[in-house]
Every structure is written in C-alpha cells, then in structure tokens.
Chain A
Amino acid sequence: MQDFAEIQARFEAAGYITEHGLALAVGLADELRRPLLIEGEAGVGKTAVAKAMADAFGRVLIRLQCYEGLDINSAVYEWNYQRQLMTIKLYENEHHSPQEVQHEIFSEDYLLKRPLLRAICMSEAPVLLIDEIDRADEEFEAYLLEVLSDYQISVPELGTITAISKPCVILTSNATRELSDALRRRCLYYYLPFPSYEKELRIVTIRVPEVSRKLACQVVSFVQSLRTQDLRKKPGIAETLDWTAALLGLRISSLDDDPEKVAQSLMCLLKTRQDQMAADAETVQRLIAQSVAAADASAQ
C-alpha cells in the first residue's frame, strides 16, 4: 500500500505541485494498473503529471504524442527495411536457404520498437504517456484499447509479445473529440482544473525561485482574474511562468511600476489576436490595479 502523502511529497520534489486527489489517483493507477485518463483545458499541466510521476517513482518515461493519422508503424513497431535488404544482399553470396534468410531478417534484431512496443518490452515498468489521445483517429483508439486491456502486442512474423511488467499508462485529452465509451471505461479518470490561487502561487515560487513574493502574488492574481475574462485561449500555467520570467527579465518588481512595459509583455499570456484586442489598455489597467491591491492585502 502506497502512502499518498508521500507520493505528493515526491511529486513536489520533482517540481510538480499537486492536490491530494491527483496524488491519490496516480497512486491508484499504479496500484490497480489501470490507465489514468486526465482531462482538462490546455495548459493546466496534464502532460507534466506523467513526467512528475516518472521522476517521483524513478521510472523511465516513454512518450507517445498522438496526431491525426498516427498509425501502427510509428506507434508500435516497424521492420528495419534497410537492414533487412542489406542482409539479403550479404547473404546472396553465401549459401543460405531462403528459410534461413527469412528467419534471420524477421528476428527481433530487425524490429524497430516504437513507443508502445518499447513500453511493453521494458523489464521494469515504465510510465507510458499517451499524449492528446483525442487527436488520434478512432481506428488507433480501438487498437490502443486492445493493447491497454491485455498489455500484449502481436507482430505477425514474430508472434505475440506480452508485457514483462505492465507499464503505468497516463492518457491526456483536450476533448477536441469525444473519446469512445470503451476507452473511458478502461481508465481511471481525473479532471484537472485550472489551479487555485494558492496552488499557482506555490508553483510560481518553486519554478521561478528568483521572483519576489510580492511580484509573484501580483502575477498570480492577475492571471487568475484574466482567466475569468471572456477569452478564446485562457492562459495556462506555462504562460504564467513565462510571463513571470519575462517580467523578471524586464526588471519589473511590481506590476504598477511601468504599465506600458507590462502591457507589452502580455504577449506571453494572450496568444490570439482577438484576445489581445479584447484586453484593451483600460481592462489591463483595471486588472493590474486589482491584483496589486490583492497582493498588498495578502501580504499583510
């Protein structure tokens, strides 16, 4: 039985601040060996969970980035055609029967292992991150389901390869496509929301240690209220960290120091033209004033 407080502490040591609930979900996924499906808006740190998990448990991270048109060849395995051809050519001059040649070129040496197969062949269970599963085709999702239920992969020429140790699987989704019920039912589920003020403040102070407490409070409070605005792309945690670093680079110690520079640096947070237009000077000033006041209040 895992101690979940310890998982949380180890995540923190790996630079990932998490809630108890998520630590528990990760622990359960590990214990029950069921995949963990994490959903949430872009930029809330879904992918980072897998990285932190690999760090925290001291495991290898294998990542499979999904995209439209992802196929078995790039996700599971492929034969090394060049080597096979080379071997055929070399064997031509020696006296080998065709069976021997065939046996040779379809052996494991000639197999290029892609992430899924690699994850299954590891002697020690790795963390397998299947990123943005919603971007892959339904066809691939169905295949994945098969792999995730049996943890085995069959290569026609070689036979079935069964997992030596079942990997911990983390799937992430941005909900651009509805996932199949079957896949959902295989998984544990966690919905990761945008972080709370306290959590984000801790993230900022841990990830950007040079930042003063005052500026960190202001930045977080600003970003938090920006997220409540009517935006197309809400800034994620990565954006908050970028912006904090940018402000440090501009030598700004408080948001009300140099409103113009601050307004310009907002390009770290607002990533579409519509959003930049929506955040006009007046709104920005109001938000700055609010967050400065909030930071002052929390300092006292």
Chain B
Amino acid sequence: MSAASAVVEHDLRTNSGDIAARIFAFARFVRASGLPIGISENVDAARVAEICGVTDSERLRWGLRSLFCKTRDDWERFDELFDRFWSTDQPRTKVAVIEGRGRGIRGAGTDRDAGGTAVNEAADGLAAGSGTAQSGASAREGIAHQDFRHFTQAEELRALAALVERLAMRMRRRAMNRLKISKSGRRLDFRTTIRRSLAYGGVPLKPAFRLHKRRQPKLVLLLDVSGSMNLYSMLFLRFARAVTRAFDRVEVFLFHTSLVRVTEALAERSIDRMKQSMEVISAGWAGGTRIGASIAELNERYAARVLSGQPIVIVVSDGLDTGPPAQLTQELRELRRRARRLVWLNPLLGREGYAPSAKGMSAALPYLDAFLPAHNLASLEALEPYLVSL
C-alpha cells in the first residue's frame, strides 16, 4: 500500500494544476470497472478531495471509498482499483467488470412490470446465457415450456437452477406488493370508539382502530428424492431453497423411504454447506419410495409444530409408491384435514400420454385440491397463486 501511496502523492503533487481532472479521471475509471458513479458522485468527489486534502493519499482513499462504494462488494474491490489507478507500473485496464448478476438483477427488478412475465424474462436470460442462436420470443417460448429433463448439459442445468431461484424471488416481490395494500387498511373501528366514548360523556377520547392485516399462509413442501425423481430433485431442491429464503414461514421435508426435515439445512448461506448438511441428513437411504409411510411420519412427528395453523401443503412426487396404497389414502386424508390446501405437483403430468394410473397416484387423487404438472418453468410459475393467496 505504501508504494502506491507514494505514487499517489507524487502524481498529485506534480500534477497539482489539474487535480480535479485527475480525480475525475479516477471516477471514470472506477465507473468503467462497474461501480455506480453518477453525476452527484462526480460533483462530490471534487469536494471530498478538497476536504480530505490531496497530500495524504490514505485520507483521499478513505474519503473516495465512502463516496464511490455503495455495497460491500464495491467496498472490497475499491482498494485494488485505487492502487491500480494511481500506480504507474500497471496498465490501467478495467478490473473485472461485474458479470450479469448483482446489479443487473436489481436493475431488472425495478422495471419488472415493463413487459412479460418472470418466466419470459428468466428464459431470456437463459437464452442469452447459453448462447442460443434463436431470437427472443421463440427461444424464450422454447425454454419456458421445455421439460426439465431435456436440459442435460451441466452448464444448462446450473443456469436453469439459477432461474428457478430467481423465479421464487420474483414471486415473493409480488406477494409483498399484495401484502402492502392490506397493511394500509388501518381504519377507525366506529363501534368500539362510540362504546368507549360513553365513559367520557360522548366525547370519543379514546378512538379504537382496526388493523386489517393479512398473513401469508404457512407453506409445507414435501419433496420426493427417490431414484425415479432423479432428473428433477436437484431443481426442486433449489426451488425450495429459494422459497425458504423468500417467504417467511416455510418448512421443507425430503422423503424417500423415510422423511427428514431440511428447513434449516436449506437456510445455510453457502451452497457447499447446504450440500454437506444434506448429505449428512440423507445418508444411508435404501431404494424404493414409501410415500404413505413418509406422510405418516409427518402426521405423527411434526403435526404440532409444522402442521398447525392450516398450512398449504405441496407434495412434489411422481407418485410411484412402493408402499401399500391403503396407507397412503389414510395418511393423505389425515393430512388433508390439517391443511388449508393440499397440492400435488407431478413432473410426469406434463408428458404426453401420461395418466395418473400408478396405484399410489390414483389413490391420492380424491384428497387433492390441485393436481398440477411441474416439469418446466411455466408450470412452476403457475404455482404462484398457491404460494401467495389465502
């Protein structure tokens, strides 16, 4: 740092005539490297230089850092930018222009109503990311409606997983907008106000208010991670993870031959740690799918904590059950009793010629409020009403 500082001081002293120009050039350089420098920053930069004095480069560094940085990421990159600009040894090239994430998303968020659905936007992103030659609408159409199992390249899958997460975040934004409207419903409760006023000779000294508040319903997600769901499990896990973060009250379970609660593991910030926790949790599972037994476990062990307050329960499974159908029927009836809504998502439902004829699936049908496909982005987005409505 000291070497660079010396250079700054030298640079500034020898060019004292046009300090303002040098600072301005630095602002342009920083801007080119992806920090959001606007006009007001440029104006203030000159004042910062004046206030901090240009003879002490560390002070200038700290001053400009507070002015130019707007997020922690910016903060962590600033020192390098500063050193690179003021040092003459290194070529003044841009430092790692931020790629499409971060600011791009936030920017897109502000004009989210400008056109198209989340899926369309998301699909656009994927089309651009994977370098598809097709143009806008048709590519987007293709991706939104393509079955997840047709995405085979690791790269495509990663991009898709990211899209699925973004989709969940978008849903939350909209949910929040709806909640806001209800929050402003602060109305005078006339009846109580008049009643209370009796004590003061008819003067309503203590007005009563009614707070009209809607709460988001609780969500319980049950994900089938058996071998037959192999193609879809990881995607749904990512979706569940994003939903956990985006919504307040979500519980997530995985099942296979038995049931495990993974809400906490999903809340891990880093994906690596999440995977680690998942591996520990799901170690030692044998083949086969016992949906009935798994739901029985939910009903028995988690009923009080998880199933209280009329949650919306979403089961994601292909319905290929190796357990007795009678058990599944019974447990679903029990679950249905506690749930506000019971939704079953079946990735197979989107395939042509599929009929829910598997024993387990047909046994489950009478107890479901909705039986929906979940094999592409469009079908995931169609879930939104179930996540946010009452």
Interface residues of A (CB under 8 A from B): 1-2, 4, 20-21, 24-25, 27-29, 31-32, 34, 36, 39, 69, 71, 73, 81-82, 85-86, 89, 137-139, 175, 178, 180-181, 184-185, 187-191
Write out the residue numbers on chain A whose beta carbons fall within 8 Å of the beta carbon of B205.
82, 85-86
Give Cα distance in the complex from A178 to B62, angstroms. Answer: 24
A191-B75 contact, Cβ under 8 Å, with A20-B59, A31-B51, A32-B44: yes
Contacts of A81 in B (CB 8 A): 207
Give B contacts to A, CB under 8 Å: 36, 38, 40, 44, 47-48, 50-52, 58-59, 62-63, 65-67, 69-72, 74-76, 103, 106-107, 110, 176, 180, 183-184, 186, 203-207
Contact B38 A185 (CB under 8 A): yes
Q: Does A24 contact B44, Cβ atoms closer than 8 Å?
A: no
| Cβ contact within 8 Å between A2 and B36 | no
**Cβ-closest chain A residue relative to B74:** A189
Task: Point out the residues of chain B lying under 8 angstroms from A34, CB to CB.
Answer: 44
B52 and A24 within 8 A (CB): yes
Decide if the interface of chain B is mainly helix, strand, loop or mixed: helix
CB-defined A-B contacts under 8 Å, sample of 22: A4-B52, A20-B58, A21-B65, A21-B66, A25-B63, A28-B52, A28-B66, A28-B67, A31-B51, A32-B44, A82-B207, A85-B203, A85-B205, A86-B205, A137-B180, A175-B72, A180-B110, A181-B107, A184-B71, A185-B36, A190-B66, A191-B75
State how many angstroms separate the Cβ of A94 from the closest Cβ of chain B. Answer: 16
| Chain A residues whose C-beta falls within 8 Å of the C-beta of B62 in the assembled complex | 20-21, 24-25
Residues of B within 8 A of A180 (CB): 106, 110
Cα-based distance from A184 to B206 in the complex (angstroms): 41
CB of B203 within 8 A of CB of A25, answer no
Q: Does B203 lie within 8 Å of A89, measured CB to CB? A: yes
Pick the contact of B106 from A24, A27, A89, A181 — CB < 8 Å?
Answer: A181
The minimal Cβ–Cβ distance linking B76 to chain A, given in whole angstroms, is: 8
8 pairs of A and B residues whose beta carbons are closest in the complex: A21-B62, A184-B70, A25-B66, A191-B75, A188-B66, A24-B62, A189-B69, A89-B203
How many Å from the CB of B173 to the closest CB on chain A?
Answer: 9
18 extra interchain contacts, Cβ-Cβ under 8 A, other than A1-B50, A185-B40? Answer: A20-B59, A21-B66, A28-B48, A28-B66, A28-B67, A39-B71, A86-B203, A89-B203, A137-B176, A137-B183, A139-B180, A175-B72, A178-B106, A181-B107, A181-B110, A184-B36, A187-B70, A188-B67
B38 adjacent to A24 (CB under 8 Å): no
Min CB–CB distance B170 → chain A (angstroms):
13
Docked complex Cα distance between A73 and B204 (Å): 20
Closest to B71 in A: A184
Q: Provide the residues of chain A in CB contact with B75, threshold 8 Å.
A: 189, 191
Q: Are B72 and A39 in contact, with the CB atoms below 8 A?
A: yes
Given A34-B44, A85-B205, A181-B36, A28–B51 Cβ distance below 8 Å? yes
Which residues of A lie under 8 Å from residue B71 when comparing CB positions? 39, 184, 189
User: Nearest CB to that of A23 among chain B residues?
Assistant: B62
Residues on the B chain within 8 Å of A69, using CB: 183
A199-B36 Cα distance, complex, nearest whole Å: 32
Shortest distance from the beta carbon of A191 to any chain B beta carbon, whole Å: 4
In the bound assembly, the distance between CA atoms of A40 and B136 in angstroms comes to 41
Closest Cβ neighbor of A83 among chain B residues = B205
Chain B residue, CB-CB nearest to A181: B106
Residue of B with least CB distance to A39: B72
Q: Are A27 and B107 in contact (CB under 8 A)?
A: no
Within the complex, what minimum Cβ distance (angstroms) separates B146 from chain A? 30
